[in-house]
Amino acid sequence: MPATYDKIATQTVTGSNLLGTTGITFSSIPSTYTDFRLVQNLTLTAAAIGYIQINGDTGANYSRTSLAGNGSSASSARTTSANQIGTDIAHETSTIGTYTADFMNYSNTTTNKTVLIRNNNTAFGTEAQVGLWRSNSAINSIKLYLDRAEYYVVGSTFTLYGIKAA
Amino acid sequence: MLNNIAAFHPAAAALNSYESIATATGTGSSGTISFSSIPATYKHLQIRFLTRSTRSASSSNIFIGFNSDTTTGNYYGHMLEGNGSAASAAAKIGSSTSFMSATSAASNTSGIFSGGVIDVLDYANTSKYKTSRGLSGYDANGSGLMYLASGLWMNTNAISSIEITDPLGNFATGSQFALYGIKG
């Protein structure tokens, strides 16, 4: 059987810290996979919310539902008609935080796009959330950025994997 | 800021421990999806899915079973769910299936599907009961569910088939399921 879990691309912050409001973009994502997975391994200069925008769409076409735990209680929250998919829990600062996002059936042109996110912060908690992009377009690019002018610290990595069904 | 970015590798590098086994699709006329004749040559299984139910509601719970075993008492599980305003939890104790997902259903805007990933661990081991865990959910811009699931099948047989059921609806056209094997 063929291998079906491929690395598509990796970006690493090197040299100097990267301004979070600028962020990074993966473009020309091939449409040849069934799903793709984003893995972020981050350190920031201060706590900040991570954002995703898809295909350069800055309109109010995003929403999300989250489920989070902060060490003492569980909670759920929602954002509607937003300009991006965010998180409840800020990305990590002094230690490495992990964040994964699965973009399900991202190249089909008959459904809105659903993104499953897991985000952990050793200081603040853990969360799972589902994001929606209200578009039937195939996803060919994603932009990752922060909600404020903090920085991605040198060594932060961003990797895309493609997962292909038979 | 491209000077800040290194190691951009657009060329794919294949990892040879994750393989596609089979796929299935919803037709709108059945609430059951089955994978059969699953080879015992992997360490773990993973099912990735995009689903919508024909049930006349905003969501429908879907469940997972193994080797066609629907014996009451053989399955246990827990789920943790967020509906956008509160978290809730439930358990299955001695049931006939395990928790898998809460899927988007017919009263949501067309095009709103649930995404999900469920792992079945050490599925071919014949000295352990079998455990599963799932992450799934849908958002409909004002409603939606985020769903975590765990399951236990109290049987030491190797898993050779998986049955996924929507007892209150059918899997709508556009629903897709993909079964993968992960080598140990």
Average pLDDT along chain A, 166 residues, taken 10 residues at a time: 83 97 97 96 89 98 96 96 90 76 97 96 88 98 95 94 94
Selected residues 14-33 of chain A with any CB under 8 Å from a CB in chain B: 14-19, 22, 24, 28
Whether the CB of A76 is below 8 Å from some CB of chain B: the reply is yes
> Smallest Cα–Cα separation from B141: which of A60, A102, A142?
A60
In a domain, B59, yes or no: yes
Query: Which chain A residue lies closest to B79 (C-alpha atoms)?
Result: A67
> Smallest Cα–Cα separation from B103: which of B73, B147, B133?
B147
Q: What pLDDT is recorded for position A79? A: 97
Domain that holds residue B118: 43-182
CB contact under 8 A, B138 and A165: no
Selected residues 113-132 of chain B with any CB under 8 Å from a CB in chain A: 113-117
Confidence of residue B82 (pLDDT cuts 50, 70, 90): very high
Selected residues 134-173 of chain B with any CB under 8 Å from a CB in chain A: 135-142, 144-148
The answer to whether B38 and B21 are in contact (CB under 8 A) is yes
The answer to whether B41 and B180 are in contact (CB under 8 A) is no
CB contact under 8 A, B148 and A128: yes
In a domain, B32, yes or no: no
How many domains, chain A?
A: 1
How many domains, chain B?
A: 1
Neighboring chain B residues of A78 at a CB cutoff of 8 Å? 84-85, 139, 142, 144
Distance CA A91, CA A94 (A): 10
CB contact under 8 A, A104 and B115: yes
Distance CA B152, CA B74 (A): 8
Return the number of CB contacts < 8 Å for A and B.
Answer: 199
The per-residue pLDDT for range B48-74, each reduced to its tens digit, is 999 999 999 999 999 999 999 999 999
Q: What pLDDT is recorded for position B141? A: 98
Interface test with B, best of A109, A116, A117 (most B CBs within 10 A): A116
Q: What pLDDT is recorded for position B9? A: 41
> Which of helix, strand or coil describes residue A89?
coil
The per-residue pLDDT for range B106-161, each reduced to its tens digit, is 999 999 999 999 999 999 999 999 999 999 999 999 999 999 999 999 999 999 99
Q: Assign 3-class secondary structure to chain B.
A: CHHHEECCCCCCEEEEEEEEEEEEECCCCCCEEEECCCCCCCCEEEEEEEEEECCCCCEEEEEEEECCCCCCCCEEEEEEEECCCCEEEEEEEEECCEEEEEEECCCCCCCCCEEEEEEEECCCCCCCCEEEEEEEEEECCCCEEEEEEEEEECCCCCCCCEEEECCCCCECCCCEEEEEEECC
- For residue A89, the domain's CATH number is 2.60.120
Residue with tokens 């900040």: A48
Whether the CB of B37 is below 8 Å from some CB of chain A: the reply is no
Domain that holds residue A20: 5-163
Q: What pLDDT is recorded for position A166? A: 85
Q: Is the dihedral of CA B36, B38, B43, B46 positive or negative?
A: negative
Query: Which chain A residue lies closest to B9 (C-alpha atoms)?
Result: A9
* Paired strand residues for A37: A102, A161
CA distance A80 to chain B (A): 5
Neighboring chain B residues of A162 at a CB cutoff of 8 Å? 12
- How far, in whole angstroms, is CA A1 from its chain's centroid? 30
Confidence (pTM): 0.93
